[in-house]
Amino acid sequence: PVRVIYEDDDLLAVDKPCGMSFHSDDLEGVEEGTNEKPAPGLLAVIRAAQENGSLVGSDYVGPLHSVHRLDKVTSGITLFAKTRVAAAHLSEQFRLRRVHKYYVALSAKRPKKKMGTVSGEMTRARRGAWRLVKRPSKDERNEARNDKEGDDSTRVTRNGSPQVATTKFSSRGLVKPKSAE
């Protein structure tokens, strides 16, 4: 179940769980001749919850306009505008990079240093996976921090994307990234 964590006259902020696509999954991977159906995406889940009155944290039943998306493997806050004017404004803020996004990754491995900065430029490898090269890029700087002794290591990244964060953390041996989709 998804839940609304913030609402005002112009927008809904929804907590998207990991493993849920934004749009409904396609039929790829669904075995023919079975009753198996593609998994509904975030948008379909929200609209169904609006229709049956089970949207946690909101009783809003009007139209929703998506202004950005998160990958299937990424959990986090997804914004929906309630009006076209709000959608245009929020979309423009994302386009102009005025929205500050933070990605957090957890690793069971402990980093060698408690804090640090991972710098480098992201490029695509031959088979589509991301890789880190040693040319620092102002827009792709990430900070790393170990918040608690003996606990999972928390990595906080500024700018970029989840793929950028995962690749940079794997360069430190903290995660094993899957190839980019």
Per-residue pLDDT of 143-160, as tens digits, reads: 555 555 544 545 455 555
Using DSSP's 3-state secondary structure scheme, residue 97 falls into coil
Planar angle of CA 173, 177, 181, nearest 5 degrees:
160
Q: Where are the domains of the chain?
A: 3-95, 102-171
Predicted model pTM: 0.63
User: Which residue of the set 59, 71, 147, 151 is catalytic?
Assistant: 71
Q: How far apart are CA 148 and CA 154, in angstroms?
A: 8
Low-confidence ranges of the chain (pLDDT < 70): 26-35, 115, 118, 135-181
CA contacts within 13 A on the Cβ side of 18? 6
59 a catalytic residue: no
Which pLDDT score is estimated for 45? 94
Q: How far apart are CA 127 and CA 84, in angstroms?
A: 39
Residue 148 has a pLDDT of 52
CB atoms within 10 A of CB 165: 27
Neighbours of 112 (CB within 10 A): 10
142 and 165 Cβ atoms separated by less than 8 Å = yes
What was the pLDDT predicted at 174?
Answer: 63
Q: In the prediction, which pLDDT does 33 show?
A: 64
Q: What are the φ and ψ backbone dihedral angles of 42, each rounded to 5 degrees?
A: -55, -45
Fold of 3-95: Pseudouridine synthase (3.30.2350)
